[in-house]
Amino acid sequence: MWGVGLLFFLIQSYAQHPTPNPPLLLTNPFAIFAPFSELNVTLFVKEDDIHCDKQISEKLNIQNIAGLNQVHGNRIIKVNESLARTEDADGIFTDQKNLVLTVRTADCQPFIIFVPDKNILGVIHAGWRGLIAGVIPNFFKVSGIDPHEALVAAGPSLCKSCSVFENPEAEISALGSEFIDGNNVDLQRAAESQLFELGVKPENFQRHPDCTYCKSETYWTYRGGDREAVLNGYTNVMACWMEAV
């Protein structure tokens, strides 16, 4: 089960036996999740060639996969069983064990939210439209998760330098002028600002350092040359699940 994709963690073994200057993608875990052996996270990228949930199920050897028809909105739903992308939404959460939650991206920001004391796990898909629509605050509203208790991790997405808009003042001003710098928009900082304003503690937040566009050889990137492939269903996938221990 563990020899697939790019595993963010073999948490305990890496924590106990760190490797000097380790390969970034294989051994750069979200340290905030390290104490929780029941939580599994896998990142699928270009080399995994993922375009459907059946492939995820086969690679992870887990039958129960829950995915959404992501629509760049703010709808959030709770799931207790498998979901085959039949719901239009951009956030999903569960308290069920061995149910894999997936979020697909090709430049947008994928988030994992975990509340270990309550065994609640969720994911958010946040593009710029979703950020304006309030997908992040709505996730916490609908799920009932106290942001102060949440551990939040952000996967690879566009960095500020690669997030270029033709006319950001007209296209994205609702996000906040403080995030606009010429034609560039700092979508990552905008998302973090929303999280921290809600009450997520900075020490409980971690962002993966990679930009999908800058590392287009590794990640699917809509803006970086993979438009047709992405439209045909090929994306990066962040998958997470709580394992019964």
SS3 124: strand
* Of 15 and 180, the one with more pLDDT: 180
The amino acid that residue 187 corresponds to is L
Helix axes 187-198, 135-143, angle to 10 degrees: 30
Q: pLDDT per residue over 29-47, tens digit each? A: 588 998 898 999 999 999 9
In the predicted structure, residue 227 carries a pLDDT above the cut 50: yes
Beta partners for residue 245, in sequence order? none
In the predicted structure, residue 160 carries a pLDDT above the cut 60: yes
| pTM for this entry | 0.88
Give the C-alpha distances (Å, rounded to integers) separating 215 from 8, 129, 139, 237: 17, 23, 29, 16
Helix (H) or strand (E) holding 168: helix 168-171
Q: pLDDT per residue over 50-75, tens digit each? A: 999 999 999 999 999 999 999 999 99
Q: Does domain 6-15+24-157+207-242 have CATH number 3.60.140.10?
A: yes
Lowest mean pLDDT, pick from 7-21, 66-80, 167-181, 196-210: 7-21
pLDDT confidence bin for 230, thresholds 50/70/90: very high
How is the chain split into domains, by residue range?
Answer: 6-15+24-157+207-242
Q: Answer whether 66's CB lies under 8 Å from 82's CB.
A: yes
- State how far the Cα of 212 lies from the Cα of 5, in Å rounded to an integer: 16
DSSP letters of 24-56? HHHH---GGGTT-TTEEEEEE-GGG---SHHHH
